[in-house]
Each structure stands twice: as structure tokens, then as C-alpha cells.
Chain A
Amino acid sequence: MNFFLSIIFSFIAVMVVVLIPWIGVGALDLRVLFGIVIPYAAMATFFVGIIIRVIDWGRSPVPFRIPTTAGQEWSFPWIKRNRIDNPKGLGGVIVRMLFEVLTFRSLFRNTRLEYRRTQGVPKVDYEWEKWLWLAAILFHYSFLVIFLRHFRFFTEPVPGFVTLLQNLDGFMQMGAAPFNGFGLPGVYLTDMLLMAAVTWLLLRRVLYSQMRYISLPADYFPLFLILGLGFTGMLMRYLFRVDVTKVKELAIGLFKFSPTAPEGIGVIFYIHLFILCVLIAYFPFSKLMHLAGVFLSPTRNLANNNRFVRHVNPWNYPVATHTYEEYEDEFRDHMIEAGLPVEKGADATAETEEKE
């Protein structure tokens, strides 16, 4: 695998994902398949897949308590300890995990290497670099808001928080001037932010040589999928409109287990839906499982309390050791000569030798 192969392969794969419903619904009118069967299958894969994956992780024990300590440990009362980055108990761990999951605290530490040489003398610097963190946090929160906004299609009656969220998200009541009507019905900030963030996450994989080197098709593929998802979503909202009433009829039918695939929804909707189905069906088999994995990471979710709270390893087994007796048997004469205390007298050495 190399960079070109990886990115082209992923791009083509996503193009195929777009083409399948385009043909499937656009030409063959397989609305039931793409509007009902595949979404159910994808959801089942998603939920069952996640459960299996997490349970599988859980079946392996955490034999040792190995938190990465990122601050002063609990020591003397006169030494200020870092309660969050070096937690001593459950409370600290919970706060640390909340920071980790909600604010991407570890990623926020990120720096960028700046390497220079002046007259043969190397100089290593660590520069400010928060773009990755910024893109990551914008992407994840935008995705969350967009997902929650979609609850207006998933729920009936629509809960108040969804209305509130979409009002906040669209508070700029912005049309994309000067194109009359283009920004209707109201531009959502998260749409823009998501697309910008994902574009950056993709671009950095292409532009930075280190990122190019480590990236695999499994990295480009979900990015292209999400770009495709966002792009079709925005197209549908701003350009190629579909009848949202019917869309909701279909969506809510799925959640009520009385699915219908009403006539007259544009094919763009089925493309959007199919990309989503692929994304969630792919989810449990991919790196996207970091969603669940981050909670289970033993370097983050354990307290640094090994010296005062015993950690038990369920598979701890007895091992062969070199006992003091064996040691003394080998070195007894020397020890006696050097005036080191011994367990048995000098005759013990003779006895051992006789036996042999």
C-alpha cells in the first residue's frame, strides 16, 4: 500500500457507495430495499457489532494498573497533587475521563516538532499546534449536533431540545448572498463547520508527509464517507430539495417498526441514507470504534493508586524463582569468607557437595 493507492482506492469505494443507490433507486426504483431493508440491516450490524466488540474487549482482563500519570501524584500533605491528571481514586478518574471524552484533553497537549540545524548544531523546538485538536473537536461536536438535529425526522412529536438546537444552530438566519434563495431554509453553522473540519482532517493526511506515510485506506475511507454524507445532506437541504414530510414518514416508520417507503422522495435522499448505512455498518469493524474504546483505555481510566490499593491480576500464576537457599548454596563459602551472615553453616556446603 502506498499513499496514492490508498486514497484512490478509498475514493473509488465511496463513489461506488454513491452509485449503488443512485442506480438502485434512480433507475430500478428499489425503494423498499434502500429505504427499509438496508437501513434495518445497517442498524442491526451497528448495534450488534458494537455490543460484540465491546464485550470482546471486556473479556480480556486488565492484568495491571498502568495509568499514564500526567501530573504530581498523591504524596505528602505539603505537596500539591494533581487530582485530575494523576487521580488517586474514582472521583479523579471520572473527572479525567470526562475531560478526555468531552474536551479531548490529551489531544490538546499536542505540539509540533520544529527541527533546524545551524552550523551543524541541531535545534529541536516544539511549536504551538492546536489545529488537529480544533478540527477534531469541531468535527465531533458538529456531528453530534447534526445527529441530534436529525431527531426532528426521528421523533414525533419533536422534543423541545431539538427545536432549540436547530434554532441556535441556524441563528444567523443566513442565506448565501448574493445567491438569492441559496441559503434557504436557513444555513446551519454545524453543516459548514463539519465540512470544513473534515476537509482539514483529510487535507492534513495528504499534505503532511508523516500523515501521508501512516495513513491507510481505512483512514481515507471514513473521511470520504463522512464528506459524502455531509455533501449529500447539504445538497438536499439547499439545492436538490426533497419532500421532507415524506422523508420523515420513512424515517419514523423505521423507528416505529412500521416501515414505509413513500413514493416521490428524490434519489439524493437515498444516496444520503445509503452512505449513512454504510458508515454505521462499517463502524463496528473499524477504527471508528474509538467511540467506545476511549472509555476502556487502561492508561486513562485507572487511578494511580497501586502502592496503596492492591490490584489483582486474575491470571496471575506462580513462576519459577531463584530462591535465597539456592543462592546461598552457590555462594556460601564466599559469603562466610567475606563475613556475610548465612542461614546454614559451612558444613552445609560440604553436605550439598556430597549429595552431588
Chain B
Amino acid sequence: MYDGGKIIIGLIIGLGLLLSPFFYNAGKAAKAPDPELTQKAKEAKVCVAPTTYMRESHFTLLDEWRHTVVRDGERYYTSDDGKKYYKGLQTTCLDCHSNYSKFCELCHNYVDVDPYCWDCHILPEEKK
């Protein structure tokens, strides 16, 4: 008794599941997002920290801001190059990056991240 048929079916199902990302992505465009900078952001040239750090770890910075503001009442942040910033998502970050759907959301959607910023903060209206 070999049960060859059952083995083949089992193999197809098993490997099919493992190979599913190949099938799922086939024929779909999946361009990496390219977040847009607003005019204001472009003019500012620098953010509160270097771009690499911001791309990888901006949420750590935001979390730190939240803690220090809410718990310690420290409202100002000094960046590495000595500039002082008012700690505020809406007042500082979104002041430059006012294009939520072309900036934040692009990457967040791409890597399926659902930040809980907007549980408390009100998503500002975008200028068209």
C-alpha cells in the first residue's frame, strides 16, 4: 500500500500554503511607497533628528515626547544640532508634514502598521 495520491495531495496543500506569498503577489504592482515632503518640509531641510533615525525610529521619539510632556511637563526638545523644538505631534510634526495621506499613511499602510496616535489626537484636515 502506497497511498501515493494522498501523499501528493498533502504535499500540494502543504507546499501551496508555504508558497502562498508567491501566488498572492503574482501580477500585482507593489511599488515601495515614496512619501512626499510638503513644501514647508522641503524648506526646513532638517527634521528634529536625522532622516535615517526618523525613518526607523520616529515612534520612539514620539513615545518619549509623550512621556516627558505628560508626566514630567518638559515641553521642549533639543536636537543633536542644538535646535530647540516644542514637543507636539500636531503643533510640530504635523506643521511640516501636513500631508497625512501622502506621508504617514503611505508607509504605515505598506507595512501594515496601525499607530494609535489617532486614538487621542485628532487627525488634522489636509489642505488640498
Contact = CB atoms under 8 A, between A and B. Distances in A.
The answer to whether A and B touch in the complex, with CB atoms under 8 Å apart, is yes
Given A180-B63, A292-B14, A312-B1, A153 B111 contact: yes
Interface stretch (B28-36, B40-48, B79-87, B97-105): B28-36
Contact of A50 (B15, B24, B57, B113): B15
Interface residues of A, number: 51
Interface stretch (A22-30, A57-65, A74-82, A119-127): A57-65
A51 B11 contact: yes
Nearest to A185: B59
A47 B57 contact: no
B25 A155 contact: yes
Contact of B30 (A47, A151, A175, A256): A256
Which 6 A/B pairs are nearest by Cβ-Cβ distance?
Answer: A156-B30, A241-B56, A154-B21, A158-B112, A152-B112, A249-B32
Contacts of B15: 47, 50-51
Contacts of B112: 152, 158, 162-163, 166
Interface stretch (B2-10, B88-96, B120-128): B2-10
Contacts of A175: 63
A105 interface: no
Given A47-B18, A243-B56, A296 B1 contact: no
B56 A156 contact: no
A130 interface: no
Interface string A27-71: 000000000000000000001001100110111011101000000
Contacts of B3: 58, 62
A14 B56 CA distance: 28
A63 B19 CA distance: 33
- A154, A181, A312 — which one has the most chain B CB atoms within 10 A of its CB? A181
